Structure 1
Amino acid sequence: MKSTFLTVLTTVLVLTGCNQSDSTQASQGDGGKKLVVGATMLSMQNEFIVNVNDEMAKQAEDAGVELITVDAERSALKQVEQVESFIAQKVDAIIMNPCEVEASSPAVAKALAAKIPIINVNSETSTKPSAFVGSDDVESARIAMKFIADKLGGKGNIVMMHGYMGQAAQIKREQGAREILKQYPGLKLIAHQTAEWDRAKAMDLMENWIQSYGSGVNAVFAHNDEMGMGAVKALTDAGLKNKVIVVSIDAIPDALQAVQKGTLDATVFQNAEQQGSKAIEAAVKLAKGQAVEKETLIPFQLVTKDNVAQFMKKPE
């Protein structure tokens, strides 16, 4: 993961398939040239996004496709410019992991106008792309908040950590959480604020909430595991973790280990490998002019101490 991370921070990761096997031939367009796919990712400092990209790189290499990955560094403006650059390079298809629902939308429109297929992976834009591969973020939050409601017996004070404001996952995870909260009048959302998907920012935010509410917080719902782990650290340092339920989303390795140890009460598994592989699959098909599903949704799964072992990767 570190090698991918460091390479992408140089802004371009070019992966070329070395073998000239049948899979390489299969990946070629009508002109017999190797297909080139450009990918712009929300942030290569986010572990889940790195996991999605790692799988994209693996699948591209297996298919003999050249993948050019760039890091948008959470900037929708930069992301639009990156897509413009891909268009100028005349890539065969574009994969975008959108920074924002609205602000990243012009990138979709520009790609479609240039007649280059564009696939949104993991997150959405208001302008519809050629295809979407991801999961229903509303569902993930419903699962997480229902777990909290059950653990608290339908009564208690909850704080919620938002992801990057304006991104589809943040909007939909808030929506899903509020749907469940409406069903339990005894649950009170006493504070909610963004920590921008970031562990350190989440730790600072949780420390502020501990100062404001003390032991009045009964549960934390964090929109992703990075923030969930930050909340766990702040609560542990304050000696409050055993009194506060913390649930987050993604099931990254750190979070799975924390669930196994009992420091994180639950996470919601989001399948990075399937999102990455199906995004490449869609890109290749569209580049060849083949039909694909407009929307590919991969289900979320609740992960607790009872079933965490099945989600833990065995050492190779």
Structure 2
Amino acid sequence: MKLKAALAGALIAAVSAAPALAENIKIGFITKFPVPFFATMEDGAKAYAAESGGLDIVFGQGASATDIEGQIALIESMVTQGVQGIAITPVDPTVATTLDKAIAQVVKVVLMDNSIPDWEGRTALATTNNYEAGRTAGGYLKTVLKDGDTLGILEGVPGVPALDERVDGMLAELSGVKVEIVGRGTTNCTEELGINVAEDILTANPGVTAIYSACGPAAAGAAQAIKNAKLDHHVILVGFDFCCGEAEAMEAGIEDASVAQFPFNMAKYGVEALVKSIKGEPVENLIDSGSALVTKDNMKDFM
């Protein structure tokens, strides 16, 4: 996701007015899979490197949202290449064992985007407060739903805390409105499964009032499923990430709202914390990169 120039400038400035010099520091930067969100994270890391002077970054990316073996291979490769730290968006908690091996070789680890439950090896976590961002989505739904309405939920990857929290936060904020959940399913944050799960919900419940998706590709899939269904009423669609086809769905009037993250900042915060920790400087354990509600009225500010 690319922000408007003015907004991007303000966000960049908020990260660090004067990044710590990073000559002769080499780090690894690993993201989950090829979607615009993670491409923007790479842009943020590159921007920090340009500002900090001399930071060497080795980039790597998994093939999919469930490519555990791919991430493990990248971690091992980067340690072999002599990185002093790794900034990673962990695809699954099971990569922690490999990260422990990296730490044993004096490699610092900063997590980005999502945490690894009960793992104490991280130096810091730079992420959206996904529970609060989920509450933002729930707050929007609360304004458009009423007692007796029905809701379908497209979940992300089971067991990934960031994705689970997006659903938990939404439901917490929606409490007080007697909405019936008529279907929910796992999408692995893919458009294909988003289409499939949404089609199942729409087929079983053609009168469904709303659908909430915990990630962007699945939201775009739900938009396609809603379009294909040709129902005689508007299904309220709320997504998360505002990426991967959501803008087109919103412009077409199919998607009503989404929660945008700031992946550019997430990466800059994460890399900055990693560099500081390598230099022996103190860093915050939890760094919130922010979020915002996107609707058709303000969507151009997030494109």
> Which stretch shifts more, 103-112 or 289-298?
103-112
Residue-pair matches, total? 282
Name the residue aligned to 1:232.
Answer: 223
1:208 corresponding residue in structure 2: 200
Amino acid at match of 2:206: G
User: How far apart are 1:201 and its partner, in Å?
Assistant: 1.8
1:271 aligns with 2:266: no
| RMSD across aligned positions (CA) | 2.3
> 1:70-109 maps to which residues of 2 (within 5 A)?
70-73=60-63, 74-100=66-92, 102-109=93-100
User: For 1:218 and 1:274, how far apart are their aligned partners in 2?
Assistant: 35
What TM-score do you get using the length of structure 1 for normalisation?
0.82
Measured after TM superposition, the shift of residue 117 of structure 1 is: 1.0
Pair 1:47 & 2:36 matched: yes
Shift of 1:160: 0.5
Distance 1:85 1:278, change over 3 A: same
1:59 aligns with 2:48: yes
> Which whole-Å deviations, capped at 9, do the CAs of 1:201-246 have from their partners, x for residues lacking one?
211222222222222x110000112111111111112113852000
1:35 aligns with 2:4: no
Question: In structure 1, how many angstroms separate the alpha carbons of the residues matched to 2:197 and 2:56?
Answer: 41
Q: How far apart, CA to CA, are the structure 2 residues paired with 1:211 and 1:36? A: 52
TM-score normalised over the length of structure 2? 0.85
Which structure carries more relative contact order (alpha carbon 8 Å, separation 6+)? Answer: 2
Matched, 1:132 2:125: yes
Q: SS at 2:184's partner residue?
A: strand
Equivalent residues of 2:138, 2:172 under 8 A apart:
no
How far apart are 1:39 and its partner, in Å? 1.8
Q: 2:15 aligns to what?
A: none
Structure 1: distance between partners of 2:264 and 2:231: 35
Gap runs ≥5 in structure 2: 2-17
Q: Shift in Å at residue 93 of structure 1?
A: 1.0
- 2:58 and 2:212 map into 1 onto residues whose CA distance is 35
Q: 1:11 — aligned with what?
A: none
* Inter-CA distance 196–24: structure 2 relative to 1 (3 Å threshold): closer
Deviation of 1:120 after TM superposition, in Å, equals: 0.3
Distance in 1, matches of 2:131 and 2:56, equals 34
Runs (4+) of structure 1 exceeding 4 A deviation are: none
Cα–Cα, structure 1 residues 25 and 250, in superposed 2: closer, same or farther, change >3 Å? closer
Instruction: Tell me if the contact between 1:149 and 1:187 (Cα under 8 Å) persists in the aligned partners.
Output: no
